[in-house]
Every structure is written in structure tokens, then in C-alpha cells.
Amino acid sequence: MAEESVLRLAETSRLTSTLREKRDELNTEAQQLVKERDSLNAQVAEWLSKARDHREKRDEYNQKVSEFKAERDEIYSKLKGRVEDHQDTEGEAEEIQKKTSAPSHVLRRKVRELDWSLQTQVLDLKREREIIEQIAELEEELKIAEDAAAMRKESAKARSEIEDLRLLMNAHHNSVLEFARLSQEENQLMIEAYAEVDTLRKRADEAHRRYLETRREADETHRRFIEAKQENSRLRKELGEIRVRRRVEKLQELEDRLEEKVAIALEKFKRGERLTMEEFSLLMKRGLL
């Protein structure tokens, strides 16, 4: 029984040591997995922040695209109306110009010359009336020519405004294209950032899964270690009790032998036989002499 307990104690001692080492290794591995998981989660948060920044910039650029599109379309509407008005003015000016025989400056010079003739020459009544009628006709034609000139001037102004509107519309269109390009770049960067988030999150989840698995194994190993330790303590106690019992039994055996020697020595003493020093000493200690 004692030999079996000794063997069992040695076995549980080895098992306790093995379980302790395994538990400590698993706890170390679990701590490393926690650090890995937390580091990955920190990277997830960092990439999420980057993704949100790219999304906000993309939305800002999309808003700019919408604003410049609306302004470009408004300018185009104005440009279209101005072009139509300009075409009407150009046509009308050409039609009016056809009703005159000469440019306005030529007509104006003829009027001055005829007027000068009236003022400086002595004319008969018939000739005077002819000149006055000519002046009236020329002044009427001059008014038509001046109207045509005014319309051409307005047409030139309209052409300048049309060109300005066209340049402004092109500038807004280029802004639409530029902000659309920037929006696309930010959108692509956002997609890449979210893809990185997904990759890191999967790695973090895997590290957490391995941590939980390692933690459970460490806890189970610790439970077995406690059981082995308790069994080890029980066996040590049991062996201790066996050793005490054996010492008591041995002492009792020695005591029995000693009592037997005392009895023999006492009989010898009673018969008057010679005692050995040991027998004499035993009888003295027992108070039998």
C-alpha cells in the first residue's frame, strides 16, 4: 500500500510540474494573443478613421461637383438665350443696313455739305427746296444707318458677353471634371481603407478566437493542476500517516520485546540467577529492584 502511494505520489508530482509548465505557457501565449488582438483593433480604428476622412472628402468634392454643375447649367441657359438674342440682332442690323446707300459717316458728311450750301450760297427757291428735301432724305437715311450702327455695337457687346459666358461655363465644367476626379480618388482610397479594415478585423477576430481557445485550455490545465496538487497533498498526508503508524507499530514492537526481556530478567532475578548488565539496567529502570 505504501509503495503504491509512493509511486502514485511520484506520478502526481511529475503531472503537477508538467501541468504547471503547460498552464504557464498557455497563459503567456494568451497574453501575446491579447496584445496581438489589441494591436490589430487599434489598427482597425486607425484605418476606420482614414476611411471616414476619405468619405468626408469624397462627399465634399461631390457637393462641389453638384454646385459647379448647377452653376454651369445656369450659365449655359444664359449663354443659349444670349446667343439667340445676338443672332436676332445681327440679322436685324443686316436688314436695316440694306436700306441705306452709304455708311453713317458718309451720309453725315453729305448732310453737312448740303447744309453748308444752304448757308453760304444764294440759291433760287426751287433749288433751295431740293436741297432741303435731300437733307431730309439723308437725315432719315442717317437715322436708319445710326440705328444699324447701334445694333452692331450692341451685337459686338453681346459677342463679348457670349465669349465671357462661354469661358465661364468652360471654367465651371473644368471644375466639375476636377472635383469629380478628386471625388473618385477619395472614393477609391475609402474603398481600399475599408478593405484594410475588413482584413485587419478578420485577423483581430481570429486572434480573439485563438485567445479564448487558449484561455479555456489554460483554465482547464489550471483546474487539472489544482486537482493534481490536491491529490499530491492527499498522498503526502496519507504517506505521512503511514509512516507515523509504522513508527508507532515499530515502537510498540520494540516495547513488546523490551517487556519480554524485563519479564525474563525478573524471573531470573526471582530464581536468584545472575543478571546481565542490560537485564539489571532494565529492572532498575522499571523500579523492580
Concatenated DSSP letters for 216-235?
A: HHHHHHHHHHHHHHHHHHHH
Determine whether 15 is exposed, middle or buried from the number of CB atoms within 10 Å of its CB (0-12, 13-18, 19+): middle
Cell 432741303: give the residue: 132
Domain-embedded: residue 14: yes
Residues spanned by the domain of 144: 2-258
Q: What is the dihedral of CA 237, 238, 241, 246, to 10 degrees?
A: -140
pLDDT digits (tens, 9 = 90+) for 100-114: 566 666 767 876 777
Our count of domains for the chain comes to 1
Determine whether 34 is exposed, middle or buried from the number of CB atoms within 10 Å of its CB (0-12, 13-18, 19+): middle
Domain-embedded: residue 277: no
Domain-embedded: residue 227: yes
- Cβ neighbours of 145 (radius 10 Å): 23
What type of residue sits at position 155? Answer: S
pLDDT digits (tens, 9 = 90+) for 136-151: 776 777 777 776 677 6
The CATH number that applies at residue 79 is: 1.10.287
Whether 245 shows a pLDDT value over 60: the answer reads: yes
Domain-embedded: residue 272: no
What letters, b where the CB count within 10 A reaches 16 and e where it falls short, cover 211-246? beebbeebeebbebbeebbebbeebeeebeeeeeee
What pLDDT is stored for residue 88 in this prediction? 57
Domain-embedded: residue 121: yes
**Long-range residue pairs from 260-265, CB within 8 A, at least 24 positions apart, any chain:** 262/286, 262/288
What pLDDT is stored for residue 5 in this prediction? 65
Model confidence at 226, in pLDDT bands (50, 70, 90)?
very high
Whether 253 shows a pLDDT value over 70: the answer reads: yes
Domain-embedded: residue 19: yes
Whether 28 shows a pLDDT value over 80: the answer reads: yes
What kind and span of H or E run contains 185?
Answer: helix 125-270
Domain-embedded: residue 15: yes
Q: What is the mean pLDDT of the chain?
A: 83
Q: Helices 2-97 and 125-270: crossing angle, nearest 10°?
A: 180
What pLDDT is stored for residue 285 in this prediction? 77
Domain-embedded: residue 268: no
